[in-house]
Structures are given as C-alpha cells and as structure tokens.
Amino acid sequence: MAHVWLVFALVIMAAFLDVVDFSIVQVALPSIRTQFLVSLADSQWIVGAYGITMAGFLMLSGRAGDVYGQKRLFVIGVILFSIASLTGGLAPSLLSLVVSRAVQGVGAAISSVTALSIFVMLFPEGRERNRALGIFVAVLSAGFAAGSIMGGILTALFGWRSVMFVNVPIGFAAAALSQKLLPNSGGRMMNGRLDLPGALSVTSGLILLVYGLTNASNEGFSSLLAILPLGLSLLALAGFVAIESRSKFPLVPLGFLRRGTVLTANVLALIFTSASGGLGFILTIYMQQILGYSALEAGLGFLPPAIIFFVVGGWGSSWFVSRLGIRRVLVASTAFITVGFALLTQISAQGDYLGIAPGMSLWALGASIGFPALNIAALAGTRPGEEGLASGLISTSQRVGFPLGLAVLLTIATTFDPVPIGAADPSASAAGVVAGFRYALVAAALLGVLGVIIALRIRQAKAPKDPG
C-alpha cells in the first residue's frame, strides 16, 4: 500500500504542474507584454492557446490511454509539457511563445487525463478511492492559488521566463520516476481500437468551441470571430454524435452515459465550472483595478479559499460522501455556492476585502466538497478499459465550463455596465464596472440554483460502502 501512495504522490506532482502553470503565467502577462510590446488582447492568447488545446485533446487522450496504455501516454504527456516549457522560456517572439503554450496544452491534456485514469486503477471504488480523490482534487485546486503566488514571486525576482523554466527540471524528473515506478499496463480496452473518425470530430469540435468562447469573452458573442468557430463547432460535434451512433467501436458509447450518475455528474460539472469560470477573473479585476491591490496582493487574496479547498476538499469531502452519500453532498455543495455568489453580488466600488471574504469563503466551501464528489460520481461504476473514457469525459466537462462561464459572465457584465471603462470620471467608471460585475454574479447565482435542482434529482442516495 505504501508503494501505491508513492505512485499516487508522483501522479499528483505531474498533474499539479499542469494546474500551476495555467495560473502562474497569468501573473507574468504584464511583463511579457512589456518585452514583446503587444496589446492586452494579443497577450491573452498566451493563456488562451493553452486552454484551447488542453480542452480539445482531453477526450482523445483519455481514450488513447485505454487503447495504448495509461503509463505510456502519461510519460509522453509529461515530456511533451516539459519540452514545450523549455521552448516557451526561450521564445524570441510572442508567436513562438503562443505556439509553445499550445503544445504545452496538448502535453497537459495527455498527462492530466491519464493521471486521473491511473488513479482510478490504483484505488478500488469505495472509501479509499473517495479519500484519495478528495486529496487529488484539493491539491490541484489549491494549485491555482499557488500558481498566482509563485508567478508573482518568480517574475519579480527572475523575470517572466523563469515561470516557464521552472517546469523543466520538475517535469523531466517526474517523467523519469514515472517510467520507473508506475506499473506497466498495456491497453485495457476490450476491442483495442481507437475510433479515429470520432476522435478527430470531437477534438476539432472542442477546439473550435473553446476558441469561439475565448473570442466571445474578448469581443462578445456577436463578433464574427465568435460566431464562425462556434457554428463550425456545433457542426463538428453533431457529426461526432452521428459517427458514434453508427460506430462498432465508439469513442464514447452512449450506454456509458446512461450508467449510474455519469451523465448527471458531467452536466453538474459543466454548471459548476461555468458558474465559477468568471469568478476568478472578476475578483482579480475587482481587487487590482477597484481596490488598488498589486498582483501579488491579489494572489494572496485567494489564499483563504485555497486553504479551504486543501483542508475541506482534501479530507472533508470524502468523509461527507462516505457518510451522507453523493446526492446530499452535491445538494449542500450547490447551495453553498449559490449563497456565496448571492453574497458577492453586494460588492461595491467603495468596498474592501472584508466585503468579498464571506461570499468567496462560502463559494470555496461549496466547491471544495462539490468537485471531489462530482469526480466520484463521474467515475462510479467504471469498468476495466473505461478509465480513460470516464476521466476524459469529466475533465472535458470541467475544462469547457470555464471558458463558457467566462464568456457568458463577461458578456453580461459589459452589457449591463451603465458606464464604459475609461469614462472621464474615474469613480463613475469604477462604479460602472462593479455594476456590471454584480449582474454577472447574479447570473452565476442563478446557475447555482439550477445546480441545486439537478442535484436534487440524483437517484443514488448513498455512496458505495467499503467492506473495511
């Protein structure tokens, strides 16, 4: 058992790199803009390229792991991520940096989804898996705050390139240890084939979807750069459904979605992450532009919710699921999230950190017990050869939810902003920005209410009992 937990720690270390890197780069964006002399909109693709390729390749990576072996794919993903980090740190231009970030996203997709698949194989369904999954999700969630803090420190001390270089030695060490310690596992999928037409259609559809949502968050849903890729995405995903319904060896068997709590868990994950997708962005802008905090101070502002995620999510969530069952935990989780958003709607241009702390803490409490419970529900009943399918599906639902929520909430915020940014009166401009944020947070609270309703419809009242 000690060896199992050692392997688990190794898997967490590699997955933690992916999560930290997503937030660590955002803090370094101002320094990157200064060096390459690019606009804010152009610099956003440093983050966007990573998110687009990661979301797009999750389903393909998960199923490829089922066919060709999770260990092999995991090591490939970590090495690809590390090489792309090195080229990104050496990037001579914005374009080369964005390309490196896109390759990083592919590596992160492969390593993160196969990490979750390996985790499913390590721990049998029940109390032990619930406990380990709580730790897994909590550590990764805390990584977002850790990335913001590390990004501020590294950029201030060594420059922005250090946030890329720091991944290289850690990544190669993780790949070497993984090759040595992870159990050898060939493909566990029964037919041993990869549905290539389905893989191509779902990957292209997801990439176009996240690309369109990223453009929508910057320029609005009425922009041609948002409408065209979103329309093409719908066609590609419709083609994927048609292919899957006729395929002898489908990438995503429709029967799998109907099993237990799989479909409900993925729908709830989409709602969870959509509601939360714009929260980090809104609070970051609020603390820096309205309250006047520095980037490091704003990063430290997210430390309390990160601690809640680490403590409550890591150890409390599995305890609640084992004793109360998935349904009750998810109902409580969505209720806490909804109340947290409702409290945050009271933010004002004359406010302070204490004004957002209660709502942010309640949101973190609900999310910290909810995300592990969602993963437990999504992975319940997984059979040998389906680990990558289950982990790819829930990872995709969560990843797509973030840009979807960000695009929707920012569209609402700018639509209902009565005073445009850059108005002659700075106080009026700040009041307008905050007013738009309030409407966006109201929409997030309504999504939370929808989550409560769906959670109430979950039939499985209790988690599987562990014989021990």
pLDDT in tens, 127-150: 777 777 777 777 776 666 667 677
**Averaged pLDDT for residues 158-177:** 87
Q: What is the CATH number of the domain that holds 359?
A: 1.20.1250.20
User: What is the C-alpha to C-alpha distance for residues 368 and 337, in angstroms, rounded to an integer?
Assistant: 10
- How many residues are there in the chain? 468
Which tokens belong to 160?
Answer: 């922005």
pLDDT at residue 428 greater than cutoff 60: no
Structural domain range at position 92: 1-192
Q: 19-77, pLDDT tens digit by residue? A: 777 667 777 777 787 888 877 567 778 877 888 888 888 888 888 888 888 888 999 99
Per-residue model confidence (pLDDT) at position 273: 86
The better pLDDT of the pair 253, 450 is held by 450
User: What is the C-alpha to C-alpha distance for residues 45 and 100, in angstroms, rounded to an integer?
Assistant: 11
User: What is the C-alpha to C-alpha distance for residues 399 and 166, in angstroms, rounded to an integer?
Assistant: 24
**Averaged pLDDT for residues 204-230:** 86
Query: How many domains does the chain divide into?
Result: 3
The verdict on 245 and 269 lying in the same domain is no
| pLDDT bucket at 189, cuts 50 / 70 / 90 | low
Token pair 């509601």 is found at: 275
The verdict on 27 and 124 lying in the same domain is yes
Task: For 18-43, give one letter per residue: b (16+ CB within 10 A) or e.
Answer: bbbbbbbbbbbbebbbeebebeeeeb
Task: For 116-133, give one letter per residue: b (16+ CB within 10 A) or e.
Answer: bbbbbebbebbbbbbbbb
User: What is the C-alpha to C-alpha distance for residues 123 and 120, in angstroms, rounded to an integer?
Assistant: 6
The verdict on 266 and 225 lying in the same domain is no
Per-residue model confidence (pLDDT) at position 91: 92
Are 373 and 246 in contact, with CB atoms under 8 Å apart? no
The verdict on 289 and 390 lying in the same domain is yes
pTM over the 0.75 mark: yes
The verdict on 337 and 274 lying in the same domain is yes
Per-residue model confidence (pLDDT) at position 76: 92
The verdict on 226 and 375 lying in the same domain is no
The verdict on 209 and 163 lying in the same domain is no
The verdict on 331 and 418 lying in the same domain is yes
How far, in Å, are 4, 48, 322, 417 from residue 319 at the CA level?
Answer: 21, 36, 5, 43
**Cα angle value 143/277/21 (rounded, 5°):** 30
Highest mean pLDDT out of 192-196, 253-257, 350-354, 360-364: 360-364
Are 168 and 43 in contact, with CB atoms under 8 Å apart? no
The verdict on 134 and 110 lying in the same domain is yes
- Single residue among 233, 250, 267 that ends a domain in this structure: 250
Q: What's the mean per-residue pLDDT of the chain?
A: 81
**Cα angle value 399/368/465 (rounded, 5°):** 100
Per-residue model confidence (pLDDT) at position 142: 66
Which tokens belong to 144?
Answer: 């977002």
How far, in Å, are 78, 81, 412 from residue 358 at the CA level?
Answer: 38, 37, 24
The verdict on 327 and 221 lying in the same domain is no
Are 142 and 306 in contact, with CB atoms under 8 Å apart? yes
Which of 35-39, 266-270, 420-424 has the weakest average pLDDT? 420-424
- Single residue among 169, 192, 215 that ends a domain in this structure: 192
The full 3-state SS of 304-345, as one line of letters, equals HHHHHHHHHHHHHHHHHHHHHCHHHHHHHHHHHHHHHHHHHC
E strand residue ranges, 46-124: none
Per-residue model confidence (pLDDT) at position 423: 45
The verdict on 212 and 65 lying in the same domain is no
pLDDT at residue 431 greater than cutoff 90: no
The phi, psi pair for 254, rounded to 5°, reads: -65, -30
User: What is the C-alpha to C-alpha distance for residues 148 and 170, in angstroms, rounded to an integer?
Assistant: 18
- Single residue among 155, 175, 192 that ends a domain in this structure: 192
Per-residue model confidence (pLDDT) at position 87: 95
| pLDDT bucket at 97, cuts 50 / 70 / 90 | very high
pLDDT at residue 180 greater than cutoff 90: no
User: What is the C-alpha to C-alpha distance for residues 195 and 244, in angstroms, rounded to an integer?
Assistant: 9
**Averaged pLDDT for residues 197-223:** 85
User: What is the C-alpha to C-alpha distance for residues 179 and 293, in angstroms, rounded to an integer?
Assistant: 44
The verdict on 261 and 223 lying in the same domain is no
The better pLDDT of the pair 217, 448 is held by 448
Are 382 and 390 in contact, with CB atoms under 8 Å apart? yes
Per-residue model confidence (pLDDT) at position 424: 43
